[in-house]
A and B are shown apart, each in its own frame.
Chain A
Amino acid sequence: MVEHPALPGESIAYQLVSDLAAVRAFVTARALALGLSRDRADLLTLAVNELATNTLQYTEEGGEVQLWSESGQVFCDVLDQGPVLHFGAAMPAADAMRGRGLAIVAMVCDHVAGFAGARGSIVRLRLGIG
Chain B
Amino acid sequence: MARFEAVTSVDGLRAAVALSGECDLSAREECTAALMTAVDTSPQVVVDLGGLTFLDSSGVHSLVTAFRAAQDRGGRLSVVGAAGMVAHVLEITGVGGLLSPDGDGDGARDG
Interface residues, chain A, CB within 8 Å of chain B?
17-18, 20-21, 24-25, 42, 46, 49-50, 53, 56-57, 91, 93-98, 100-101, 103-104, 107-108
Contacts and interface: CB of A to CB of B under 8 A. Distances in A.
A53 B92 contact: no
Contacts of B22: 21, 24
23 contacts: A18-B26, A21-B1, A21-B22, A24-B54, A42-B84, A42-B85, A46-B56, A46-B89, A49-B54, A49-B56, A50-B57, A53-B56, A56-B25, A91-B93, A91-B94, A94-B97, A94-B98, A95-B64, A96-B64, A101-B56, A104-B89, A104-B93, A108-B92
Nearest to B60: A100
B61 interface: yes
Contacts of A93: 94
Given A20-B25, A21-B1, A97 B65 contact: yes
Given A17-B25, A21-B1, A95-B98, 20 more contacts: A17-B26, A18-B26, A21-B22, A24-B1, A24-B22, A46-B56, A46-B89, A49-B54, A53-B56, A53-B57, A53-B58, A57-B25, A91-B93, A94-B93, A94-B98, A98-B61, A100-B60, A101-B56, A101-B57, A104-B92
User: Contact size class for B?
Assistant: 20 to 34
Nearest to A53: B25
B96 to A, nearest CB: 8
B68 interface: yes
A97 B54 contact: no
Contacts of B93: 91, 94, 100, 103-104
Contacts of A94: 64, 93-95, 97-98
A20 B64 contact: no
Interface string B80-103: 000011000100111101100000
A49 B68 contact: no
A-B CB proximity, top 5 nearest: A94-B94, A94-B98, A17-B26, A100-B57, A21-B1
Interface string B32-71: 0000000000000000000000101110110011011000
Given A53-B56, A104-B57, A25 B89 contact: no
